[in-house]
Amino acid sequence: MIFLSRELTRRVRINFNDMQLYSTNNSNNVVDLRTAVLKSLPEDKGLFMPKKIRGLDPRFIKNIGAYSFEEIAFHVSANLIGEYIPAAELYSIVSKAINFPAPVKRITGNISTLELFHGPSLAFKDFGARFMAELMSYFTRKGEEKITILVATSGDTGGAVAAGFYDTPGIEVIILYPSGRVSALQEKQLTTLGKNISAVEVAGSFDDCQALVKSAFLDPELNKKYNLSSANSINIARLIPQSFYYFEAYKQLEDKTSVSFCVPSGNFGNLTAGLFVKKMGLPIKHLIAATNKNDVVPRYLESGHYTPVESYTTISNAMDVGAPSNFSRILELYQKDWKAITKDIIGYSFSDEQTRACMLRVHRDHNYICDPHGAVGFLASEEYLKKYPNGHVVFLETAHPAKFLDVVEACLETKLTVPPRLAALADKTKKADKLSSAFSEFKSFLLSR
Ligand SMILES: *Cc1c(COP(=O)(O)O)cnc(C)c1O
């Protein structure tokens, strides 16, 4: 049974109206949440942005300690979505999607970590993928539409989407991944589930996979046969649940003064969600953008010039992005005002050598094992505290270190304990269709299914 307090339901009914979203390329192109989620992208190739991000009732933030994670998630999502989804339905969506914890652990006097890897695929992307799966099946439950999600992955997205959408009625998922370029465990996460999840192993790069997906979206014949959608962070459904855990982290902090969040970033979806949270009124001093050598955003913050480039390969590979897709959402939030952006976001970037040295040092001095992405976050937190010594930084630990077993074990010269969920995959049988990177081949594959 779902318990909904009187106060929660009433507030939703009285104060909120429906969420509307507009395209970053045309503010007159306004759609409802259902359209934004099922279509993923506006036709004008912009990104969907919420028309309004309301401030939360300050009493909610003041009393945050009284709410469970599930209640926080409900309250925050209702604040964004309004009464477009009835409160009881929204509560059920949220409680099915967010059914694992996000604990904060203190590492030094003023650096803590928010562990976001306790979901099924052991990466923070579980929050987005699971919420999106629940939302999509709510929107399609009348069974009129069958949705086909195409997703290109360089590793973590595919695993989270596969687990999140597994066995969801009315939704079929096709994951494209570059042959030989994802880790062994990541490949198993994509290729062993079966049912409504299929994997295509592409002889090519991640960019080739992404190009195939893009061409499919533009192909009239395929659009006639399928209702195509995307599960990458261009879809607004992924950003909504990524706002929940900032509140959950804040709740757990003993000292709530001068709190900043440090976000290891690639496509900047996670950091954009943090900016939504700041707009909703959570007292966050700064959002710290932590990157590896792929530093277009830190360079923008430094210079005011945004120059996307080809990405470099690093050991924190989920952040190997040269042209972050959510950057246009950040510009939109601040009306392209660079000065205002640099007031809220501080950026730092680090090399692989620095990242390895950090993993080693944090393990030795603080008995904590960071994954390579988290280590970049730890480094940025330290750098930030040199400038703002009175602050308290919470960095987001975006994946479990065992997902990057080879890199972490070689660096620490220690064997990691692999969570049973991940270890069990080793014995499962891989099933994937092998294709070249030619679109014609992918198209006939889709048409003949
Ligand atoms: C996807 C991912 C990131 C980057 O997140 P963005 O929202 O794209 O910035 C960071 N770390 C890990 C482990 C990831 O899987």
Q: Would the CB of 284 count as within 6 Å of ligand 1?
A: no
Residue 113 CA to ligand 1 centre (angstroms): 15
CA distances from 319 to 173, 271, 331, 354 (A): 24, 12, 20, 15
Tell which atom from ligand 1 comes closest to the C-alpha of 263.
9
How many angstroms does the Cα of residue 318 sit away from the middle of ligand 1?
Answer: 5
pLDDT score of 2 more than 80: no
Q: What is the pLDDT of residues 184-243, one digit of tens each?
A: 888 999 999 999 999 999 998 877 898 899 889 889 999 999 999 988 888 999 999 999
Does residue 7 register a pLDDT over 60?
no
User: pLDDT at position 333, please?
Assistant: 96
And the tokens for 290?
Answer: 């932590």
Q: What is the pLDDT of residue 17?
A: 66
| Cβ atoms 166, 130 nearer than 8 A | no
User: In which domain, by residue range, is 290 found?
Assistant: 104-121+238-418
Work out the number of other CB atoms within 10 angstroms of the CB of residue 108.
Answer: 15
**In angstroms, what is the span from residue 115 Cα to ligand 1's centroid?**
13
| 252/211: higher pLDDT | 252
Q: What tens digit of pLDDT does each residue of 72-90 get?
A: 999 999 999 988 999 999 9
Compute the distance between CA of residue 394 and CA of residue 378 in angstroms, rounded to an integer.
Answer: 9
Helix (H, G, I), strand (E, B) or coil at 49: strand
pLDDT in tens, 36-53: 999 888 888 889 999 999
List, in sequence order, the alpha helices (H) in 388-419: 405-412
* 290 pocket-lining for ligand 1 (C-beta < 6 Å): no
Could you tell me if the CB of 269 is within 6 A of ligand 1? yes
Q: What pLDDT digit, counting tens, does each position of 429-444 carry?
A: 999 999 999 999 999 9
- pLDDT at res. 214: 83
Ligand 1 nearest-atom number relative to CA 155: 15
List pLDDT tens digits, range 393-421. 999 999 999 999 999 999 999 999 999 98
Question: What's the pLDDT at 14?
Answer: 36
Least confident piece of the model among 241-245, 349-353, 360-364, 422-426 = 422-426
Q: Which burial class, exposed, middle or buried, applies to 119 when counting CB atoms under 10 A from its CB (0-12, 13-18, 19+)?
A: buried
Confidence category of residue 98, pLDDT binned at 50, 70, 90: very high
Atom of ligand 1 nearest to the CA of 403: 13
Per the model's pLDDT, the better-predicted residue between 183 and 27 turns out to be 27
Q: What is the mean pLDDT of residues 119-143?
A: 93
Q: Is the CB of 270 under 6 A from ligand 1?
A: yes
Q: Which amino acid is at 103?
A: P
CA proximity to 226, closest of 235, 236, 216 = 216
Number of domains in the chain: 1
List the CATH number of the domain containing 343: 3.40.50.1100
Q: What is the mean pLDDT of residues 155-172?
A: 92
The answer to whether residue 312 scores a pLDDT higher than 90 is: no
Q: Is the CB of 425 under 6 A from ligand 1?
A: no
Instruction: Provide the pLDDT for residue 262.
Output: 99
Backbone angles phi, psi at 312, to 5 degrees: -90, 155
E strand map for 120-253: 147-152, 171-178, 197-202, 227-230
Could you tell me if residue 255 is inside a domain? Answer: yes
Give the pairing of strands 104-106 and 111-115.
Answer: antiparallel
Confidence grade of residue 12 (pLDDT, cut at 50, 70, 90): very low
Task: Give domain status of residue 177, yes or no.
Answer: no
Alpha-carbon gap, residue 380 to 397, rounded angstroms: 13
Single out the residue of 288, 314, 244, 282 nearest to residue 378, CA to CA: 288
Q: What integer pLDDT is reported at residue 149 of this predicted model? A: 95
- Structure tokens belonging to residue 116: 């976001």
Tell me if residue 125 is catalytic. yes
Residue 222 in any domain: the answer is no
Catalytic residue among 39, 96, 105, 125: 125
Mutate to test the pocket of ligand 1, among 242, 297, 319 (most ligand atoms within 8 A of CB): 319
Report how far ligand 1's centroid is from the alpha carbon of 432 (Å).
25
Q: Is 158 in the pocket of ligand 1 (CB under 6 A)?
A: no
What's the 397 CA to ligand 1 centre distance in angstroms? Answer: 10
Q: Is residue 273 part of a domain?
A: yes
What is the Å distance from ligand 1's center to 145 Cα? 31
If you measure from the C-alpha of residue 95 to the centroid of ligand 1, how many angstroms do you get, rounded to a whole number?
Answer: 23
**For residue 137, which amino acid is it?**
S
CB of 154 within 6 A of ligand 1: the answer is no
How many whole angstroms from 387 Cα to the centroid of ligand 1? 26
Residue 182 has pLDDT above 90, yes or no: no
How much is the mean pLDDT over the chain? 92
Pocket of ligand 1 contains residue 267 by CB under 6 Å? yes
Cβ atoms of residues 258 and 391 within 8 Å: yes
Band (278; pLDDT cuts 50, 70, 90): very high
What whole-number percentage of the chain has pLDDT above 90? 79
Task: Give domain status of residue 61, yes or no.
Answer: no
Residue 3: pLDDT band by 50, 70, 90 thresholds?
very low
Task: Among 47, 398, 407, say which to mutate for ligand 1: greatest number of ligand atoms within 8 Å of CB.
Answer: 398
> Which amino acid residue places its CA nearest to atom 8 of ligand 1?
267
Residue 265 CB less than 6 A away from ligand 1: yes
Give a yes or no: residue 283 inside a domain: yes
Mean pLDDT across 130-155: 89
- Contact present, 294 and 314 (Cβ < 8 Å): yes
Residue 385 forms part of a structural domain: yes
Nearest atom in ligand 1 to 269's CA: 7
Q: Is residue 44 part of a domain?
A: no
List Cβ neighbours of 381 (8 Å cut-off, separation of 6 or more): 111, 262, 288, 290, 393, 395
More confident residue, 209 or 274: 274
Q: Is the CB of 264 under 6 A from ligand 1?
A: yes
Does the beta carbon of 125 lie inside 6 Å of ligand 1?
A: yes
Comparison of pLDDT for 156 and 302, the residue scoring more: 302
The reported pLDDT for the residue numbered 311 is: 84
123 lines ligand 1 (CB under 6 A): yes
